[in-house]
Structure 1
Amino acid sequence: MNTLTLENNRVKLTLLDKSNYTQLEHVAQEKDLIFFSPSDISAPEKLKAYVKLAVDGYNLKTTIPFIIYDKDKQAYAGSTRFGLINQKNKVLHIGWTWLGHNFQGTGLNANIKFLMLGYAFETLDFEKVEFRIDERNKKSRRAVEKLGATLEGVLRQDTVMKDGYRRSTCCYGILKTEWPLIKATIFKTF
């Protein structure tokens, strides 16, 4: 993998790969960390399979996975990625984000999303960024709404969860034309 890095004073995002994911094993095993995800990272072999899938996607140019380093706490905090990258239509998703419980509610996620949105719109020149969130995950929905994303609709019972439950997925989006105002207002202190 190459050396893509997104960084500001608070956080450093570097490519997640088979050589650095072990830095996340202690975080990944926290109880109910990704309860609202169809993925499972609760054991080292499950985290390894999760990372392999992300890296395979990177090699196919459909994902860009990151490991998250919190500069304030001087610790690895979790993972996030660009996914479902559609070059033709210039649309991608930001998601697969999980942070250890000690990193949640600290402003870290807003810094992560600021870097990722800026990269998607200003460097990759994409037209739209989407977020897909379990309808029941009110905490993540509020976080994305605070970023200026618009709820575009709900896909009813579209994803099968680990326990067989069929979740409904809220679809949020930010358009490239909306980014300058969002950057100047919501992210004005970044």
Structure 2
Amino acid sequence: MNIPVLENDRVKLSLLDLSNYSNLTEIAKEDKLIYYSPSDISTPEKLREYVKVAVKGYYENTIIPFLVFDKLNGEFAGSTRFGLIDYTNKVLHIGWTWIGKRFQGTGLNKNMKFLMLQYAFENMNFEKVEFRIDERNLKSRRAVEKIGGTLEGVLRKNTIMQDGFRRNTCCYGLLKNEWPDIKSTIFEGY
């Protein structure tokens, strides 16, 4: 599989693996960083397990995990990935995204999403990108809506969280034929 490095003036996304994940150990300890995720990265051991799952998916051609480097601040900021990659139907998910609290609201995430959407539609030539978000995570839902994501439905009580709660998952999508308009309006100047 081709390993993309996605980069602009603000952010660099490179392959996350077991040789570099320790750059995220301190950020991963932040309280409730991935509260709306069924995953747990709160200790170095749990973070390593999280990365091992991503690496396994990478070798199975279903995941491309990224290490996020904030070029503006010269610091590692978090992680994101392409997941549930379906090469036959040309559909993938963007998600498993978490960045340290000091990087949130700075434009870093929008730069990340631009690079990932651009790569999915323009390089991989995929037809659809999906996002799955906990119904309660209004901040992430608004962010996906701001970049043009359309709410396609809600999967009811489909995911068990760390505390045993069964969450509803909102499914958003962007289509390849929507990308040029989204790119020229929402991401103008990227």
Q: Structure 2 CA distance, aligned partners of 1:109 and 1:174?
A: 17
Q: Deviations over 1:113-134 (max 9, x none)?
A: 0000000000000000000000
1:145 aligns with 2:145: yes
Aligned position for 2:154: 154
1:88 aligns with 2:88: yes
Shift of 1:186: 0.2
Aligned position for 1:60: 60
Shift of 1:4: 2.4
RMSD: 0.9
Number of aligned residue pairs = 190
Q: State the secondary structure of the residue aligned to 1:105.
A: coil
| 1:97-136 paired onto structure 2 within 5 Å | 97-136=97-136
Aligned position for 2:50: 50
1:30 aligns with 2:30: yes
Aligned position for 1:40: 40
Q: Deviations over 1:129-172 (max 9, x none)?
A: 00000000000000000010000000000000001100000000
Counterpart code for 1:115: L
Q: Structure 2 CA distance, aligned partners of 1:122 and 1:92?
A: 14
Q: Structure 1 CA distance, aligned partners of 2:3 and 2:175?
A: 27
TM-score by length of 1: 0.99
Q: Structure 2 CA distance, aligned partners of 1:131 and 1:169?
A: 10
Shift of 1:2: 6.5
Aligned position for 2:167: 167
Aligned position for 1:69: 69
* Unpaired stretches in structure 2, ≥5 consecutive residues: none
Q: Percent identity?
A: 68
Q: Deviations over 1:9-50 (max 9, x none)?
A: 000000000000000000000000000000000000000000
1:179 aligns with 2:190: no
Shift of 1:3: 4.8
* Unpaired stretches in structure 1, ≥5 consecutive residues: none
Moved more, 12-21 or 1-10: 1-10
Counterpart code for 2:90: K
Shift of 1:189: 1.7
Moved more, 3-12 or 67-76: 3-12
Q: State the secondary structure of the residue aligned to 1:88.
A: coil
Runs ≥4 residues deviating over 6 A: none
Aligned position for 1:15: 15
Q: Structure 2 CA distance, aligned partners of 1:169 and 1:139?
A: 14
Counterpart code for 2:156: R
Q: Structure 2 CA distance, aligned partners of 1:16 and 1:118?
A: 19
Q: Structure 1 CA distance, aligned partners of 2:11 and 2:151?
A: 27
Q: Structure 2 CA distance, aligned partners of 1:111 and 1:189?
A: 11
